[in-house]
Amino acid sequence: MNRSSSTPGTPGTPGTQHRPLNLLDDHAHAWSPAEARSRFRSGVSGPTAGCAAGHTQANLVSVPADWAYDMLLFCQRNPKPCPVLDVTDAGSWTTVLAGDADLRTDLPRYRVWEHGELVEEPTDVVAHWHDDLVSFLIGCSFTFEWALTEAGVPMRHIEQGRNVSMYVTGRQCRPAGRLHGPMVVSMRPVPPEHLPVAIRETSLLPAVHGSPVYCGDPGALGIEDLGRPDFGDPVDTEPDDIPVFWACGVTPQAAVMASRPPFAITHAPGQMFVTDARDEQYRVG
């Protein structure tokens, strides 16, 4: 099943009106983080790749406090797909990553889960918020795209105005307490002459997934068809492009689906929290 958050017909608040995010028309790359969050708060939604260029983006997963230790342990045991940037106090909707932000309203689109089932995709979760929710902000591969672009690596999905392709793999994460599930990866087609620099540049950003987990035949990861991503959009490739796969922060959503906690809130895949942090803050070496 294609779970693309940009596909018509996905669950959402009945009657909700929202304005789609279009990077080319709205010049979203030039927005400040505060402007991006303000626009999302007002109803703009869509994939955030390239938005507020130079500022770190983050995945969101919020779980009840009695599941928070399991989630923290799951992230600690699986740092490649789940690199933690911040963890909130129970009930708090604020984060040190953006002092004026509200995690309930300032993402383009959310997902609400009950017992592992997706029940709604609203543009804010104020009505769904619980006083015991603990939120995890997890590094996002959109953050390292600035480094790849600066190094001359083409970003096909941004060029095509699409969400990045994401796939559930056959690789199981290391379980933690009640949480278990497969690793999710994002895929970017990379011309062979750019592959060494793509690996090098992303390896310098371990807090946002770091180097690829695999390059080449998708079948080795249990992916049957690149044209049918589990999340996001299919991306057109050039004949010589090599599929390159990075661990993805949608992995906790796969764990929610597999482990079925009573309640959870996450970001919609590709529609991230834009922080005030600068990308270079997470670069090592």
CA gap 79, 241 in Å, rounded? 28
DSSP string, the chain: ----TTSTT----TT---EEP-HHHHTGGG--HHHHHHHHHTTEES--TTTTTTEEEEEEEEEEHHHHHHHHHHHHH-TTT--EEEEPPTT---BTTBTT--TTTSSS-EEEEETTEEEE--S--GGG--TTEEEEEEE-GGGGHHHHHHTT---HHHHTT-PPEEEEEEEEPPPBTTB--EEEEEEEEE-GGGHHHHHHHHHT-GGGT-S-SEES-GGGGT---TTS-SBS------TTPEEEEEE-TTHHHHHHHHH--S-EEEEPTT-PEEEEEEGGGG---
Please check whether residue 18 lies inside any domain of the structure.
no
Residue 65: give its domain's CATH number: 3.40.1640.10
137 and 149 belong to one structural domain = no
34 and 112 belong to one structural domain = yes
Residue 178: give its domain's CATH number: 3.30.2040.10
Please check whether residue 8 lies inside any domain of the structure.
no
pLDDT band at 143 (very low <50, low <70, confident <90, very high): confident
Cβ distance 125 to 267 under 8 Å? no
Cβ distance 227 to 218 under 8 Å? no
DSSP state of 268: P
223 and 129 belong to one structural domain = no
128 and 29 belong to one structural domain = yes
Question: What does the pLDDT read at residue 14?
Answer: 31
175 and 236 belong to one structural domain = yes
131 and 210 belong to one structural domain = no
Q: Left if phi > 0, otherwise alpha if psi is -120 to 50, otherwise beta: which for 199? A: alpha
Amino acid found at 151:
A
pLDDT band at 146 (very low <50, low <70, confident <90, very high): confident
227 and 159 belong to one structural domain = yes
Question: What does the pLDDT read at residue 88?
Answer: 98
124 and 76 belong to one structural domain = yes
CA gap 241, 236 in Å, rounded? 10
132 and 151 belong to one structural domain = no
Please check whether residue 85 lies inside any domain of the structure.
yes
Question: What does the pLDDT read at residue 16?
Answer: 34
Mean pLDDT over residues 83-99, rounded?
A: 97
Structure-model confidence comparison of residues 263 and 15, the more confident one: 263
48 and 104 belong to one structural domain = yes
Structure-model confidence comparison of residues 76 and 53, the more confident one: 76
Number of domains making up the chain = 2
228 and 271 belong to one structural domain = no
pTM of the entire predicted model: 0.89
Please check whether residue 9 lies inside any domain of the structure.
no
3-class SS at 86? Answer: strand
Q: Which structural domain, as residue segments, surrounds residue 273?
A: 23-142+255-282
Please check whether residue 66 lies inside any domain of the structure.
yes
Provide the β-strand partners of residue 44.
Answer: 19
Please check whether residue 124 lies inside any domain of the structure.
yes
Please check whether residue 88 lies inside any domain of the structure.
yes
Mean pLDDT over residues 11-37, rounded?
A: 64
Please check whether residue 96 lies inside any domain of the structure.
yes
Cβ distance 193 to 152 under 8 Å? no
91 and 157 belong to one structural domain = no
